Structures are given as structure tokens and as C-alpha cells.
Amino acid sequence: MADSNLVVREDSGVTIVGFGGSTLIDAEYIEQIAGDLYDLIDKQKVNRLVLDFSSIKFLASRMLGVLLTVKKKSEAKKGGLALCAVREDLMKVFAVTNLDRTFSFFEDETTALAHFRG
């Protein structure tokens, strides 16, 4: 199985995850990312996540399902999920699927972190 190349770091109790590639379309790659994100929540007890989409240019619908599961898992642990730096063309994918109402979107990492700090 391929390495997901996620870049993971922590800032004041919030885990920030960046993606190593520019596309999230390959099914095997998405499954690896899913496993790594689920492990963060289930095994490493992370409950507040910021996913930084600044490097992502393309997104498969399969990844939307992964994001929904990550949101559900993080909220079940009294945390949450924030998406930041999502390109305008990718935001259209979220809008068409009505997921723009489901997820919390922020312009950049700083504003996403502020969301969790309240």
C-alpha cells in the first residue's frame, strides 16, 4: 500500500494535517489517507483536526466520504473538523453536493485554529 505522505503537526491541542500531493483521486491513495486519518482519531486520540487543502487541485468524490467519516469520528470524541485553504474550484464540488453546509471552511490555517480556540 502506498504511503499517504500526510504532513501532521500539532498546535495548542489542534492537529493540523497537510497533504503531500496535489490530487486526491487515486482510490488506493484515498484509502491510505483514510486509514491514517482514522488512526489519528481512534488510536492517537486526536479530536480536533484542521485539514489544509492548500496543495490540493483535484478531489474525487470518494474523498468526500472519507471527510464525512472524519467529521463524524472527531465530533463523537467531542472535537471537530475544519477545512482550510480550499481552492475556489474545489469549493464548487462541496457546493454541488451540499457539503458546503456540512463542513466548516476557513480561509487559512490561522483562522481555522482560531475557530477551535474560541
Distance CA(89)–CA(70), nearest Å, equals 22
| CATH class as words, domain 7-117 | alpha beta
Residue with cell 503537526: 9
With contact defined as beta carbons under 8 Å apart, do 6 and 38 qualify? no
Task: Count Cβ atoms below 10 Å from residue 13 Cβ, excluding itself.
Answer: 12
For position 5, what pLDDT does the model report? 87
Q: What is the pTM of this model?
A: 0.94
Tens of pLDDT along the chain (118 residues) come to 346 789 999 999 999 999 988 999 999 999 999 999 999 999 999 999 999 999 999 999 999 999 999 999 999 999 999 999 999 999 999 999 999 999 999 999 999 999 998 7
Burial class (CB in 10 A: 0-12, 13-18, 19+), 10: exposed
**Strand, helix or coil for residue 30:** helix
Residue pair 104/95 in contact (Cβ under 8 Å)? The answer is: no
